[in-house]
Amino acid sequence: MKTDRSPIPLFKVFLAPEDELMPRLRDVLYSGQISEGEPVYEFERRFAAFVGLPNVLSFYSGTAALHGALLLAGVKPGDEVISTPMTAEPTNMAIRHAGGEIVWADVDPSNGNLSAASIAERLTPRTRAIMVVHYGGIPASMRTIREAAEIAGVPVVEDAAHALGARYGNRPIGAFSEYTMFSLQAIKHMTTVDGGMLACKDPADLPRGRKLRWFGIDRQAPRTEVDVECIGYKYHMNNVNATIGLVQLDHVAPAIERHIANGRYFDTALRGIPGLELCTWDAEAEPSYWFYTVLAERRDDLARYLTEHGVGNSQAHKRNDLHSAFASSRRELPGLDSFYSRMLHIPCGWWVSDEDREFMVDTIRQGW
Ligand SMILES: *Cc1c(COP(=O)(O)O)cnc(C)c1O
């Protein structure tokens, strides 16, 4: 069946209104100061206030921020890092950039997030960090994951690329772990075209992180007086991306709220449909619904049916353990097998109108 509705995309770039963004962008582009400077520091302060986390460092990408977090956490070549295959590749590439060996833990088949029990089973004396992803914006079980991490004395890095605006235990996501990364890539809840923000629990990580992101050099010190003591990277954010971020921060809250409102609508409206299961999560978790994940019998049929009706949908990510680059980490993951064979993501972002979401529910209710 064909309809004359325009298709509802799974992802859409959110940008602040042109009449606000363009004058600010023009000013910074021709200011003569386009590399890291005051707009970057102002953006770090305002982003920190926005997410409600005190110590935030900017990077040019989320992947760079994850690599930085792992280095700050002390991951060295050969160290084990427990991680999830149910994510985008950057999560696990960053572990390999740091030289870490990926140890897959299994996921909870009801939401695709790492299972704390499986993490606990994978801990060894060589475990140097645990990488947790809040897949699709659903917070992982941070209470039990923290318990496992604390017994082992291992830091947690949260990949919150999908989870800007999510909460857990009445606190913002990121309030629980040593490091939390938010991605500002094009299609995330908020974008600066590219960028990554790293929230650190320990303020002592801020000066270490600033050096690490710029060749090991303290940018505030006179250049001929610095001694570069460790290897650093070209990972800093520039004033142009930061200026986009400053304007975005004035507008993005209602967009995130709309993701959440649409997600909560689907939580109720899609309940009780034969062949369709909805994700579940901890009572303390408040997802920010980057996309909306359903678990479907005959998933591929549902995908085709939705596409025919103009509803964007995708599996979005390949389970990372199937990649050749990560072949040496392969093992049995029955929870992931169950989740991966049924999951499908449908749109629930700021662009999904009341009419769109009602149409989506009616379409799915009719059966596939
Ligand atoms: C987008 C994303 C990242 C970071 O990607 P960048 O493009 O480097 O900002 C990391 N992890 C996940 C799960 C992502 O979706």
Dig out the tokens for 76 from the structure: 């060295």
- The pLDDT of residue 4 is 72
**For the chain, percent of residues with pLDDT exceeding 90:** 97
Q: Where are the domains of the chain?
A: 18-249, 252-365
CA 211: distance to chain centroid? 24
What pLDDT was estimated at residue 246?
Answer: 98
How far, in Å, CA of 52 to CA of 60, rounded? 21
Class of domain 18-249 (CATH, top level): alpha beta
Mean of the pLDDT values across residues 353-359?
A: 98
Q: Which pLDDT does position 319 carry in this prediction? A: 98
Distance 5 CA to ligand 1 centre (A): 31
**Is CATH 3.90.1150.10 the right assignment for the domain spanning 252-365?**
yes
With a 6 Å cutoff on the Cβ, whether 92 touches ligand 1 is no
Determine the pLDDT at residue 3: 59
Average pLDDT over residues 45-60: 98
Which pLDDT value is given to residue 172?
A: 98
User: Which residue in the list 188, 201, 211, 318 is annotated as catalytic?
Assistant: 188
Q: Alpha carbon of 216 to those of 36, 65, 210, 221: distances in Å?
A: 15, 15, 8, 12
8 A C-beta contact, residue 290 and residue 163: yes
User: Is residue 5 very low, low, confident or very high in pLDDT (cuts 50, 70, 90)?
Assistant: confident
Query: If you measure from the C-alpha of residue 236 to the centroid of ligand 1, how many angstroms do you get, rounded to a whole number?
Result: 16
Mean pLDDT of 18-29: 98
pLDDT above 70 for 146: yes
Cα–Cα distance, 41 to 367 (Å, whole number): 52
Cα gap 66→185, rounded to integer Å: 13
Mean pLDDT value across residues 180-186: 98
Q: What is the pLDDT of residue 329?
A: 98
pLDDT tens for 292-343 read 999 999 999 999 999 999 999 999 999 999 999 999 999 999 999 999 999 9
Query: What are residue 43's DSSP bridge partners?
Result: none
Is 234 in the active site?
A: no
- pLDDT, tens digit, for every residue of 84-136? 999 999 999 999 999 999 999 999 999 999 999 999 999 999 999 999 999 99
Residue 272 CB partners (closer than 8 Å, separation 6+): none
Task: At 128, list the tokens.
Answer: 């140097």
* Tens digit of each residue's pLDDT (9 = 90 or more) over 258-299: 999 999 999 999 999 999 999 999 999 999 999 999 999 999
The CA–CA distances, whole Å, from 168 to 117, 175, 177, 297, 309 equal 19, 9, 12, 30, 35
Kindly report the protein residue whose alpha carbon is nearest to atom 13 of ligand 1: 88
CA of 188 to the centre of ligand 1 (A): 8
Looking from the CA of residue 65, the nearest atom of ligand 1 is 8
pTM above 0.95, yes or no: yes
pLDDT for 352 equals: 98
Residue 227 has what pLDDT?
92
- Compute the mean pLDDT over every residue in the chain, rounded to the nearest whole number: 97
The strand pairing partners of 294, in sequence order, are 278, 344
Q: What is the CA radius of gyration of the chain?
A: 21
The finding on whether 129 has its CB within 6 A of some atom of ligand 1 is no
